[in-house]
Amino acid sequence: MPDLSGKTAIVTGCASGIGAATVRRLRADGAEVLGTDIDPSGETVCTEAGARFAVQDVADIALWPEIVAQAGEAFGRLDILVNNAGIVVSLSIEDVTDEAWDRVYGVNIKGTMAGCRAAIAAMKENPGGSSGSIINIASTSAMAALPNDVAYCSSKGAVRVLSKSVATHCAKQGYKIRCNTVIPGATETGILHKAEEEIPGLMAAVAATSPMNRLADPAETAAAIAFLASDECPFMTGAELLVDGGALSIHPGF
Ligand SMILES: NC(=O)c1ccc[n+]([C@@H]2O[C@H](COP(=O)([O-])OP(=O)(O)OC[C@H]3O[C@@H](n4cnc5c(N)ncnc54)[C@H](O)[C@@H]3O)[C@@H](O)[C@H]2O)c1
């Protein structure tokens, strides 16, 4: 298990799914955690895990410095940011509205960018010198597109390259701040349950795309996040960890 004792973290989208599992995992590995979510029920998840909680709409980018300051006031430093909050609005290129596009991009990419920017400003000033690990959550939909989710897929594609730009900027500046991407495959969370309501049978169909023939447990994704958050991988930056049960590794005919 990675040792995160002495480290402090912000995890967005903590009220359910991968975010909730990540709060629990980082706490179990010893980190102090501030979980945030637009949904106030995130407080229950955080309280049960011994974490702090703040209501945050990640797309409200003016609020990001305040959230980072809250972590600084509570813990004295910021070591880890997990940009996990994400939304899907299922529309194809022919149907997508300007409003839906802006909403998805506001959360998935603008919010992630603003989180990186605010976290770097704080991580540069950590006691003892710059240090930190930023983990952005993309999706296998950023590697193989879903025809009905044009905004989601393309925003997650942008997250992948955003992470690489952040990673290389920080490295070139001499900051000891790493930035990596976790790419989950189909994971049993709120997003999939919502999609199942619209498309009955979707979860089983998606599970069948993995050679393991199952969905991921959010805790399995959180384990990859905890690894990247830790000091176990100091030369990993700009990297992508695929947590998809082999779904993208198998030839489509098998
Ligand atoms: N579940 C999957 O199959 C899957 C696959 C690939 C990638 N992902 C990604 O994993 C991440 C977590 O999703 P999940 O599967 O746990 O879904 P989820 O719906 O269970 O959790 C998402 C959380 O984000 C919060 N959120 C939504 N909009 C927000 C906003 N504007 N500000 C703050 N919080 C907001 C929600 O309230 C929710 O608690 C997302 O970025 C998602 O795109 C999920």
- Give which of 89, 20, 85, 15 is closest to 57, Cα–Cα: 85
Is residue 102 scored above 90 in pLDDT?
A: yes
Is residue 191 scored above 90 in pLDDT?
A: no
The confidence score (pLDDT) of residue 186 equals 95
Give yes or no for residue 245 CB within 6 A of ligand 1: no
Give yes or no for residue 91 CB within 6 A of ligand 1: no
Is residue 167 scored above 90 in pLDDT?
A: yes
Q: How far apart are the first and last CA of the chain?
A: 34
Cross-strand pairs, 52: 34
The confidence score (pLDDT) of residue 192 equals 86
Q: How many angstroms separate the Cα of 251 from the Cα of each of 144, 167, 211?
A: 13, 31, 10
- Which residue lies with its CA nearest to atom 17 of ligand 1? 191
Cα(16) to ligand 1 centroid in Å equals: 8
CA–CA gap between residue 122 and residue 32 (Å, rounded): 16
The confidence score (pLDDT) of residue 202 equals 87
CA–CA gap between residue 186 and residue 8 (Å, rounded): 28
pLDDT tens, position by position, 206-217? 999 899 999 999
Measured CA angle at 249 (ends 246, 254), to 5 deg: 95
* H or E stretch at 137: strand 132-137
Give yes or no for residue 209 CB within 6 A of ligand 1: no
Give yes or no for residue 163 CB within 6 A of ligand 1: no
CA–CA gap between residue 201 and residue 22 (Å, rounded): 27
Give yes or no for residue 155 CB within 6 A of ligand 1: no
Q: What three-state secondary structure class fits 216?
A: strand
On whether the CB atoms of residues 23 and 80 are closer than 8 A, the answer is no
Give yes or no for residue 12 CB within 6 A of ligand 1: yes
The confidence score (pLDDT) of residue 252 equals 84
pLDDT tens, position by position, 18-46? 999 999 999 999 999 999 999 999 999 99
Give yes or no for residue 83 CB within 6 A of ligand 1: no
Count of other CB atoms within 10 angstroms of residue 202: 15
Cα(20) to ligand 1 centroid in Å equals: 10
φ, ψ at 14 (rounded to 5°): -85, -5
pLDDT tens, position by position, 42-99? 999 999 999 999 999 999 999 999 999 999 999 999 999 999 999 999 999 999 999 9
Give yes or no for residue 180 CB within 6 A of ligand 1: no
User: Strands of 132-137's sheet, edge to edge?
Assistant: 52-55, 32-37, 8-12, 80-83, 132-137, 177-184, 240-243
Is residue 239 scored above 90 in pLDDT?
A: yes
CA–CA gap between residue 10 and residue 12 (Å, rounded): 7
Question: Domains in the chain, please, with CATH?
Answer: 8-188+217-243 (3.40.50.720)
Is residue 112 scored above 90 in pLDDT?
A: yes
| Catalytic site includes residue 175 | no
Cα(127) to ligand 1 centroid in Å equals: 32
- Give which of 184, 181, 183 is closest to 166, Cα–Cα: 181
Q: Which of 53, 64, 75, 152 is catalytic?
A: 152
Q: Which of 34, 38, 56 to mutate to test the pocket of ligand 1 (most atoms within 8 A of CB)?
A: 38
Cα(128) to ligand 1 centroid in Å equals: 34
Q: What three-state secondary structure class fits 55?
A: strand
Ligand 1 nearest-atom number relative to CA 152: 43
Ligand 1 nearest-atom number relative to CA 140: 6
The confidence score (pLDDT) of residue 1 equals 80
The confidence score (pLDDT) of residue 131 equals 98
Residue the block writes with tokens 């990186």: 116
Ligand 1 nearest-atom number relative to CA 106: 31
The confidence score (pLDDT) of residue 78 equals 98
Pinpoint the alpha helices (H) of 88-244.
98-105, 111-123, 150-173, 190-198, 202-208, 218-229
| pTM to 2 decimal places | 0.98
